[in-house]
Amino acid sequence: MQVSIYRYNPDTDEAPWMQDVDVDIPAGRDLMVLDVLELMKSKDASISYRRSCREGVCGSDGVNMNGRNGLACITPLSEVVKKDRLVLRPLPGLPVIRDLVVDMTQFFRQYEKIQPYLQNDKPAPATERLQSPEEREKLDGLYECILCACCSTACPSFWWNPDKFIGPAGLLQAYRFLSDSRDTATAARLADLDDPFSVFRCRGIMNCVSVCPKGLNPTRAIGHIKHMLLQQGT
Amino acid sequence: MVTNATSLTRSGLSDFIIQRVSALILGLYTICITGFLLLTPDLDYATWVAFHGGTWMQLFSTLAVLALAAHAWIGMWTVGTDYIREHYFGQRATVFRSIYMVICAGVLFVFVAWSLQIFWRL
């Protein structure tokens, strides 16, 4: 199989370039894209990418595979390879540090903006803050996000305004805390989001839903945030 | 909270509501005009002037013109802040975006003023 991989070493390259590499895929096996990267790295140690758990939990190896963002470790070749060719690029829209490694500073700056931690101004109970099963159920589909950035870097609004639009990953987490029955900062959280960029730059094109490797739905969460803003503001 | 001095209301929610309410007004106005055109077989200039001469139609037309201006400003401002950015234009992006917005504001002002002059025979 031919793999075309994005290469860029700021110390030696003036501009990024694509390297074509022939990779021998063991017959009868459907390798993950990360396995292919490992095979390539065993022959060329200079190829750089992030990886850690290799089972879709840590979110390190988000890459663009044949034009589609996803986690290399849980994406089988049979899902992405077309005409025996695989094109690997870094996640789009973020600055490239080297090869497939991107600078996630902007992504995490947006995540930091939504204050991703429980805020409660009531006195702490003796044991713990309890939730009913129904209240806990509201967090399903939200807390599972692993912050791999596949969604935000598939979003044109995030490409255009990465410093102003929170992005689908951050907004999914914003809604996770807005819908948490133990959080008492709902009004302040919503007030922070009521500007023309943070939430309302979402055009609902659902690229985020399409690429999320965990099957989450940031567009729905953004819709809920807009609804909450509407209820609070009217 | 991201502040911006040139958005219509400074509030994402207010812009969101204005854009949708103005779209509704424009939709109703389109239905009204289309309905009149379809239901008036012998349409001539006198009928057209009489149709627009009524106070209710003058008010409705004024509302539609203002709705279009607000709708267009929010839309054009969004397009401008999406595409006229430092990424493409470097440090000059703010200058280009300001020029673009002044042109948009000028065109909309002329459109509103001219429309009001026509509808109210000023």
Q: Which residues contact A18 (CB under 8 A, 6 or more apart)?
A: A4, A5, A6, A7, A87
pLDDT at site A5: 97
pLDDT at site B4: 75
Question: Which residue carries 């429980």 as its tokens?
Answer: A118
Whether A187 has its CB under 8 Å from any CB of chain B: the answer is: no
Digit-coded pLDDT (tens) for A17-42: 999 999 999 888 999 999 999 999 99
As a whole number, mean pLDDT of residues A174-185 equals: 97
Instruction: Tell me the shortest Cα–Cα distance from B19 to chain A, in angstroms.
Output: 12
Domains and CATH numbers, chain B: 13-120 (1.20.1300.10)
- pTM score of the predicted model: 0.90
Find, in chain A, the residue whose alpha carbon is nearest to that of B78: A201
Whether A226 has its CB under 8 Å from any CB of chain B: the answer is: yes
pLDDT at site B121: 86
Structure tokens at A123: 């006195």
Nearest to B2 among A160, A195, A230 (CB): A195
Cα distances from A24 to residues A31, A36, A108, A216, B109, in angstroms, run 11, 9, 37, 34, 65
Q: Is residue A164 within 8 Å of A200, Cβ to Cβ? A: no
Find, in chain A, the residue whose alpha carbon is nearest to that of B1: A192
Report the percent of chain B where pLDDT is more than 70. 100
Find, in chain B, the residue whose alpha carbon is nearest to that of A158: B82
As a whole number, mean pLDDT of residues B57-83 equals: 95
Instruction: Tell me the shortest Cα–Cα distance from B115 to chain A, in angstroms.
Output: 29
CB neighbours of residue A167 within 10 Å: 31
pLDDT at site B77: 94
Q: Is residue A231 within 8 Å of A178, Cβ to Cβ? A: no
HSE toward the beta carbon, residue B100, CA cutoff 13 A: 19
Instruction: Tell me the shortest Cα–Cα distance from A68 to chain B, in angstroms.
Output: 23
pLDDT at site B16: 93
Q: Is the pLDDT of residue B7 over 90?
A: no
Digit-coded pLDDT (tens) for A54-79: 999 999 999 999 999 999 999 999 99
Chain B hits for A192, Cβ within 8 Å: 1
Q: Is residue A113 within 8 Å of A170, Cβ to Cβ? A: yes
pLDDT at site B9: 80
